[in-house]
Homo-oligomer: A and B are copies of this chain.
Amino acid sequence: LAGGITIALDAMGGDLGCEAVVKGAGIARIRQPDVHYEFHGDEALIAPLLEEDAELKAVSSIHHTDVAVAMEDKPSQALRKGRRVSSMWLAIDAVKQGRAQAAVSCGNTGALTVMSRMILKTMPGIERPAIAAIWPTMRGESIVLDVGANVVAEKKNLINFAIMGEAMARTALGQPTPSVGILNIGAEEMKGNEDVKGAAEFLRDAELDFDFQGFVEGDDISKGTVDVVVTDGFTGNIALKTAEGTARLIGDYLSSAMRRSWASQLGYLLARGAFNVLRQRMDPSRVNGGVFLGLNGVVVKSHGSANAEGIAAALDLAIDMARNDIIKKIAADLEQVQDARDGDAANEAAPAKATEPTPA
């Protein structure tokens, strides 16, 4: 497959097992020509599934391992049993070896974070990678990061998230000059913790080639006020799951409301085309897949409970990132920002805190 893209799949990590992964690849294959799929997992399970889809089989290879990282494993346990041998490790390693241009896993987020970082290493200037998610909005789609790779983010991490998210938005959303905002509890400049204030100040003053819009609030995410919403992984993960929970709650309200009278039941029948459209738009698998940004390679984290459609969406995203060589774009942007950062660091170094005891 000269010129094509190879995607390495961790076929063992998800809640629904190999079947969802192979079927997901089958759906993605129809949409995405010229892609090779490298399945890492139990050959005895994967091979029969590929037999059912001759066209997928023709563009696939199986790399056998029967070691899987479990959802409940702590990252340290996952490493002890899975280092160099688990389907998750081997899929990421295919990217490191240059055999694949992206890895996709539905597995344990903590283990995936640790293994990806260990194998691919962070890009120069990046301490903490982030997971970026695509979020449906009133204007289309936005990117939100970090949604859970880290529990804390300092000023410099938030700045890097902004740079990386902006590069991803150009690729994934096709926005030539994406707008960027930092999530905060008020749009006013004086609100928020020191890290969000510091990051906003830097991005406002750094004169980067960058459409920085300052602070945005929680309700701005769904409004689509900006193309890229920057936050720490703790807040971002909770915001993402809160939105999922709210969507389910409203779906629940809606279906119980529709059952309350014969008129509403009839109305529901007449409008079922519209409800199907709504259901599709609210379907979390439609925008499944978080991209690890800041590593020397593309790794996409699919929802653990993703079905075949969800996995296909994660594969689309991985293929898009690989085709557009997102890593090179981010590297170029990080270089652009490094000068501004050096200047900023020099300013900050001046009033240094005397934390070291002075020798007597």
Chain A residues close to B by CB (< 8 Å): 72, 74, 110, 136-138, 148, 151-152, 183, 185-186, 188, 190-193, 217-223, 231, 233-235, 237-250, 252-254, 257-258, 260-261, 263-264, 266-275, 277-278, 281-282, 357, 359-360
Chain B residues with CB under 8 Å of A263's CB are 270-271, 273
Are the CB atoms of A241 and B253 closer together than 8 Å? no
Least Cβ–Cβ distance between A233 and chain B, in angstroms: 7
* Nearest 7 pairs of A and B residues by beta carbon: A218-B241, A267-B271, A357-B357, A267-B270, A219-B245, A222-B245, A264-B274
Query: Can you offer 25 A-B residue contacts whose CB atoms are under 8 A?
Result: A136-B249, A138-B252, A151-B191, A185-B234, A185-B238, A217-B237, A217-B238, A217-B241, A219-B242, A219-B245, A221-B245, A231-B238, A234-B235, A235-B235, A238-B239, A253-B278, A254-B254, A257-B275, A258-B274, A264-B271, A267-B270, A267-B272, A270-B270, A359-B360, A360-B360
Pick from B136, B233, B250, B254: contact of A185, CB below 8 A.
B233
- Taking a contact as CB atoms closer than 8 A, the residue among B72, B218, B267 that contacts A239 in the complex is B218
Asked whether A222 and B242 contact (CB < 8 A) given A193-B151, A263-B270, the answer is yes
Main secondary structure of the interface of A (DSSP, over half): helix
- In the complex the two chains form, is B237's CB within 8 Å of A282's CB? no
**CA gap between A321 and B328 in the complex, in Å:** 58
Chain B nearest CB, measured from A187 CB (Å): 10
Cα distance, A302 to B170, chains bound together (Å): 40
Report A74 CB to chain B, min CB distance, Å: 6
Residues from chain B with Cβ under 8 Å of A151 in the complex: 185, 191-193
Contacts of A217 in B (CB 8 A): 237-238, 241
- Point out the residues of chain B lying under 8 angstroms from A247, CB to CB: 246, 250
Other CB < 8 Å A-B pairs besides A254-B278, A257-B271, 15 of them? A138-B248, A138-B252, A151-B191, A183-B238, A192-B234, A218-B245, A221-B242, A238-B239, A239-B242, A253-B278, A258-B271, A260-B273, A263-B270, A264-B273, A267-B268
Copies of this chain: 2
Q: Which residues of B contact A257 (CB under 8 A)?
A: 271, 274-275, 277-278, 281
**How close is A28's CB to chain B, nearest CB, in angstroms?**
25
Cα distance A242–B190 in the bound complex, in angstroms:
21
CB distance from A151 to the nearest CB of B (A): 5
A223 CB, min distance to chain B CBs, angstroms: 6
Instruction: Tell me how far the C-beta of A313 lies from the nearest C-beta in chain B, rounded to whole angstroms.
Output: 18
| Chain B: minimal CB distance from A140 (Å) | 12
Most buried by B among A270, A281, A360: A270
Q: Which residues of B contact A219 (CB under 8 A)?
A: 241-242, 244-245, 248
Could you tell me the distance between the alpha carbons of A282 and B254 in the complex, rounded to whole angstroms? 10
Q: Which residues of B contact A357 (CB under 8 A)?
A: 357
Q: A246 to chain B: which residues have CB within 8 Å?
A: 222, 242-243, 246-247, 250
Shortest distance from the beta carbon of A132 to any chain B beta carbon, whole Å: 16
| Residue from B220, B238, B250 in contact with A235 in the complex, judged by beta carbons closer than 8 Å | B238
What residues of B have a CB within 8 angstroms of the CB of A72 in the complex?
188
Whole-angstrom distance from the CB of A145 to the nearest CB of chain B?
14
Residue of B nearest to A223 (CB): B245
B contact residues around A74 at 8 Å (CB):
188, 190
